[in-house]
Amino acid sequence: MLPDMNDATPIDPDVRDLADIPAVEVISRAAVMLMSSAAEKLGLADPDPDTSPRRDLDEARRVITALAGLITSSVEYLGPHAGPLREGLQSLQRAFRESSAHPDEPGMGPGEKYTGPVY
């Protein structure tokens, strides 16, 4: 249920209005959330990713592809954040390739239609 905008409940002063947050910060936060999700879905948060109960390569493919689209389409706005985000994306793409029993052809892996082949 959405909050009633006429409600007199005080707003937490530590919560910033989305309109006050710079676009680069919103994009970066979204990218970090997608990276975290992809890492979880690759099982990278567990001691042995190969036996992780969280591993779901189909879901990881979707999240990595969304991440690649976000970073590629936003690179001109990211400034100094672009390099680390691209490196994180490439690490996830490589981890996906290494996790796959039958790796995709170069250029066909998750997000590679946006980034080009990752080896």
Q: Give the model's confidence band at 80: pLDDT under 50 very low, under 70 low, under 90 confident, else very high.
A: very high
Q: Average pLDDT for residues 81-86, to the nearest whole number? A: 96
pLDDT-derived band at 41 (thresholds 50, 70, 90) equals very high
Tokens 């100094």 sit on residue: 80
9 versus 92: the higher-pLDDT residue is 92
Taking the CA atoms of residue 97, residue 102, residue 106 and residue 109 in that order, the dihedral angle to the nearest 10 degrees is -60
CB 68 within 8 A of CB 114: yes
The total number of residues shown for the chain amounts to 119
Q: In this predicted structure, what is the pLDDT of residue 58?
A: 97
Cα 34 from chain centre: 2
Mean pLDDT of the residues in the chain: 91
